[in-house]
């Protein structure tokens, strides 16, 4: 069993063992249900100290020229890439995701975003604009850092999300207090130490630990100027409401119940590959998962037959093995939640179960017998009003819905309060674009699913979020605009000049 030293609030450049709160919790390896690390929850005093550390570091960091900030961040990128496999093993231990995934996605895509923003600010990404208003006046704008910002991470992509938040935040000249999910907290200190080794000044990136009460304290704190949160919709509403009440900036990346629409000209193999990526990658624990799969009724038999055949390629096994591509659910609580949805689909919704259920995968290695493993599951002949179709399950559960016309499929796909992602699979690209245009979602794909490069701004519509992450627009969410009008005519314009008639009296 792998274990790590205790984790404490990290601020002023190091873990703060003295003065830490007495409350502790365990980080659990979900594949075995064994503890791996004791985490000391941050007390209000710890959080205050972390925020004070960030506030003290902010003036110097924000006034550091962007090119110099870029050099620090690029050194951190090099360290992340050099330690990719080491960090990926930590992510596998903490999340249960196979090493084949964490070593090629989690750390890599996080480092990509940090590299993108480091290069963006080095090449003028924080420049404002300047224009002549009239012969005697001109206007210039500046993008100013916000101050101390709070980042609240999610448990499904721990280090990636930490980098998605901290990269534009730090690049823009802000300081951050970051709270990882209490379910997957191991990455946070590793990242803080990498930033420090890269030359980031002490206090610019700090870590606090704990559950919702720690996040709530951060959100309400008078010094914190912005809150960036990734998580479920219900929590996001509370965080956004609390932050907005204090007039703070917010970015919210929340949940989804995303549709996949298969068009009738799509090759069945492609449709199935897309649907599987949209449902079983990361054991279905992805906010953008396309869990409502709309398939032409005429394709029913061939789609289901091909799907069942290809599901044989979902492989459980040693999580360190290069061929393993499916892991456990992240925690006992989440395992029970997902299992209850599957049971509801069977007992209450009366959907047709064609694969999986509430059991553990076949051929599960003995060392994982006590872990939080669940079979990849498929329900077919689903109806729009079923609970398993309407609510976000966040697990390896696919629901297949059949349709007769594309207009019908689009209308049904949009009938949700969520709007995070959507995708279309088909041969006629013009038809695909037409469907994408009508789908109400902030992230969309055509003939692929899930890729989210650093250059691509992503964010949800409706209840799925506020603001965007990544891309050029992502940087705008971490600055405030200052506009200045300069009058060069030599006199100050005024309406309070002496009237000419009065001057002759």
CB under 8 Å to 145, separation ≥6 — which residues?
58, 62, 172, 173, 174, 478, 479, 480
| Whether residue 253 lies in the annotated active site | yes
DSSP 126-153: T---EEEEETTEEEEEEEEE--EEEEE-
From CA 287, how far away is CA 284, in angstroms rounded? 9
From CA 474, how far away is CA 455, in angstroms rounded? 9
**Phi then psi dihedrals of residue 15, to 5 deg:** -65, 140
Give the closest residue to 96 by CA, choosing from 153, 157, 165.
157
59 torsion bin: left (phi>0), alpha (psi -120 to 50), beta (else):
alpha
How far, in Å, are 303, 306, 364 from residue 396 at the CA level?
A: 18, 18, 16
From CA 292, how far away is CA 280, in angstroms rounded? 13
The angle that helices 66-82 and 84-95 make with each other, rounded to 10 degrees, is 70
Alpha carbon distance, N-terminus to C-terminus of the chain: 98
Which is catalytic among the residues 91, 101, 253, 392? 253
CB under 8 Å to 482, separation ≥6 — which residues?
128, 141, 142, 143, 144
- Chain centroid offset of residue 47 CA: 23
CB under 8 Å to 9, separation ≥6 — which residues?
15, 16, 20, 40, 42, 46, 47, 49, 50, 206, 207, 208, 209
From CA 420, how far away is CA 416, in angstroms rounded? 11
The angle that helices 158-171 and 66-82 make with each other, rounded to 10 degrees, is 160
From CA 223, how far away is CA 243, in angstroms rounded? 12
From CA 215, how far away is CA 302, in angstroms rounded? 48
From CA 471, how far away is CA 478, in angstroms rounded? 12
Active site residues: 253
């Amino acid at each position: 069993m792998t274990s790590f030293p205790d984790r404490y609030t990290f601020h002023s450049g190091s873990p703060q063992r003295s003065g830490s709160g007495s409350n502790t919790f365990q980080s659990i390896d979900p594949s075995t249900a064994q503890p791996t690390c004791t985490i000391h929850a941050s007390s209000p005093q710890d959080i205050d100290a972390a925020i004070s550390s960030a506030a003290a570091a902010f003036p110097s960091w924000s006034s550091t020229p962007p090119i110099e900030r870029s050099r620090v961040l690029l050194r951190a990128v090099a360290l992340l890439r050099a330690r990719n496999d080491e960090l990926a093993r930590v992510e596998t231990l903490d999340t249960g995701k196979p090493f084949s995934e964490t070593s090629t996605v989690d750390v890599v895509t996080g480092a990509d975003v940090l590299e993108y923003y480091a290069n963006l600010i080095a090449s003028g990404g924080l420049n404002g604009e300047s224009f002549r208003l009239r012969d005697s006046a001109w206007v210039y704008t500046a993008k100013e850092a916000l101050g101390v910002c709070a980042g609240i991470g999610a448990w499904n992509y721990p280090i990636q999300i930490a980098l998605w938040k901290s990269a534009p935040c730090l690049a823009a000249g802000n300081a951050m207090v970051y709270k990882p999910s209490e379910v997957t907290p191991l990455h946070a200190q590793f990242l803080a130490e990498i930033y420090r080794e890269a030359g980031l000044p002490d206090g610019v990136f700090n870590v606090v630990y704990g559950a919702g009460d720690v996040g709530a304290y951060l959100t309400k704190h008078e010094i914190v100027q912005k809150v960036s949160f990734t998580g479920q919709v219900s929590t996001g509403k509370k965080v956004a409401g609390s932050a907005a009440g204090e007039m703070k900036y917010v970015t919210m990346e929340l949940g989804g119940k995303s549709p996949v629409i298969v068009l009738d000209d799509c090759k069945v193999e492609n449709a199935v590959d897309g649907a599987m990526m949209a449902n079983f990658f990361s054991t279905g624990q992805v906010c953008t998962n396309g869990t409502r799969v709309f398939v032409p009724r005429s394709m029913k038999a061939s789609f289901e037959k091909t799907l069942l055949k290809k599901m044989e390629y979902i492989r459980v096994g040693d999580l360190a093995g290069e061929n393993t591509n499916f892991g456990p659910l992240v925690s006992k609580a989440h395992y029970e939640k997902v299992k209850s949805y599957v049971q509801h689909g069977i007992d209450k919704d009366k959907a047709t179960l064609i694969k999986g259920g509430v059991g553990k995968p076949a051929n599960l290695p003995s060392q994982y017998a006590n872990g939080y493993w669940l079979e990849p599951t498929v329900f077919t002949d689903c109806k729009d009003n079923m609970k398993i179709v309407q609510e976000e399950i966040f697990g390896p559960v696919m629901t297949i819905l059949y349709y007769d016309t594309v207009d019908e499929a689009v209308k049904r796909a949009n009938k949700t309060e969520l709007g995070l992602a959507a995708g279309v699979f088909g041969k006629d690209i013009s038809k695909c674009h037409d469907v994408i245009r009508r789908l109400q979602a902030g992230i969309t794909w055509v003939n692929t699913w899930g890729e989210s490069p650093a250059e691509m701004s992503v964010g949800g519509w409706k209840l799925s979020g506020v603001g965007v992450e990544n891309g050029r627009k992502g940087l705008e969410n971490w600055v405030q605009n200052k506009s200045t009008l300069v009058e060069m005519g030599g006199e100050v314009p005024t309406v309070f000049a002496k009237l000419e008639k009065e001057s002759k009296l």
